[in-house]
Amino acid sequence: MTNRRLEGKVAIVTGAAGGMGRGYALHLAKLGADVAIFDKDLDAGKRAGEYEAESVEQEIRDLGQRVVAVQADLSRREEAQAAVEQAARELGSIDILVNNAGGAITPAERSYATTSPDDDMALLINVNFLSAVYCCQAAVPLMNRPGGAIINIVTFGAFAGDSKGKYAVYSGAKAALLTYTRHLAVELGPIGIRANCVAPGLIHTPRVAAAAAARGMGTSDQAGAIPLRRFGKVEDMVGAIEFLGSDMSNYITGECIRVTGGLGLISL
């Protein structure tokens, strides 16, 4: 029997044009949710060769679900507000918000704590922290209560640093989002909206794999440091999103699920 536990629900997924965001959006649609996909570039995943369909929007429509695709820079408050309002206007009250947009998008060689330039720091904070904050602030007044669920995607780097000290500001911005989520959980708990985080470990999407060699990622040594002895895949992530977005986690808020294969449990 097909699992349709999110039948009739409305979900927003940011950064959904490819990679993990696309995976989350498709999985929620398969569970019966209507989905709004937000991205700064809705064609990014298609250009990267991540899928053969016309678009992620069409993939969701082919699953029989309603879908809204909005191209927006979510690090700009007014664009985030307008995107969320459009999603609610076209699909109805919001049940699930997955803030996935972001990433370590600045050059790794200048990502150290002592060398990150101002422009890089501003960009990383804007796309990894403020975009999520703006979407939360826009969505909360439009969310079903009780029953609404906010899922903020952080990173394993919020708990443990890179072995060479890289990605300092990216990890710091995600750590700020982790703390913000805990405050959100306290504030929204009385009205029945839950807020949690998911922290991916080394997850190989097509774009991550393409950049892995240049960034020293995806090496056999790194795989050997993971107890499950492999890198993660997008399909390894979707279960946590399903759990936190559904009534299976009705009494869970302010928490963070690490989807890492056990990364960090082994001392090198």
Helix 131-139 × helix 168-188 angle, to 10°: 20
Provide the residue type at 72 as one letter: A
The owner of tokens 């499950």 is 228
Residues written for the chain: 268
Q: Which of 24, 134, 167, 170 is catalytic?
A: 170
**Which pair of structure tokens corresponds to residue 244?**
């936190």
Give burial (CB, 10 Å; 0-12/13-18/19+) of 61.
Answer: middle
Alpha-carbon torsion angle 35, 41, 45, 48, nearest 10:
180
Which strands form 194-200's sheet, in the order they lie side by side? 67-71, 34-39, 10-14, 96-99, 149-153, 194-200, 256-259
170 is catalytic: yes
Q: CA of 201: how far to CAs of 121, 204, 239, in Å?
A: 22, 9, 15
List the catalytic residues: 170
